[in-house]
Amino acid sequence: MKIKQYQVDAFATRAFEGNPAAVCPLENWLEDDLLQAIAEENNLSETAFFVPTENGFRLRWFTPVKEVDLCGHATLATAHVIFEILGCAEPAIIFETRSGNLCVEKAGNQLKMDFPAFPPTPCEDSETIVKAIGVRPIELLAADDYVAVFDSETTVRSITPNHSLLSQLDLRGVIVTAPGTDVDFVSRFFAPKIGITEDPVTGAAHCKLAPYWAGKLGKNTLSARQVSKRGGSLTCEVKPDRVVLYGSAVTFMEADIVFET
């Protein structure tokens, strides 16, 4: 069996920055165990698989250990492959996903992704989180991830988490965030529970961060940077029940997965 695979740096303007994702176009779905095995073999934060449908494409995302409901950077990477490599001439792509239909369209030299908003709500302090990240946040909120808010970008950059403790949390992971010095807000994302110690740039995290910071800063269009080692930038536009993310991507590698079944 041979499967084409592309590796794309998402939320990046050049190779070796942003978040790498593997993208595999399929004619038909393979067994879930095989999809998961490919994602585990890739050992990237996400591997995306898609098949054509009547209205667009069905899209699924896998971490090295499980399938997830939403992934921003791998959606960006997949749209980049469809537009730039496979030559899609349509102005917009509709992805059918576990999080509903997601629309991606070209916006100049960027791609514009329309995602659901998941505003986090305040929750009780967690001593496990404090121990895991080594500093007490000024505010703790929760959606499907915890959101720990700090008062400075320096604090967010300095955090060295205890991944063993983080993997014991009841939610998927922890987003740490603060006002930025050159952007509206910065963040980092840790999710060892699903095989991601630190994600370089996390589109889905901004479906929670953008509504929060829009309320704090009183503006609906925000500049953001995820201050991981690789780093990546994006623009967020907050609408009722939706978050629109803008970002660019670059192709790093094309390959064939070849194996015997």
Do 15 and 250 form a contact (C-beta atoms < 8 A)? yes
DSSP notation for 44-98: SS-EEEEEE-SSSEEEEEE-SS-EES--HHHHHHHHHIIIIIS---SSEEEEEET
Q: In this structure, are residues 133 and 148 in contact, taking their beta carbons and an 8 Å threshold?
A: yes
Spatial CA neighbour of 20 closest among 47, 2, 53, 59 = 47
- 3-state SS assignment for residue 238: strand
Question: Partners of 3 in the beta sheet?
Answer: 257
Catalytic positions, written as ranges: 46
> What's the chain's Rg over C-alpha atoms?
18
> Computed from CA positions of residues 6, 7, 9, 14, in that sequence, does the dihedral angle turn out positive or negative?
negative
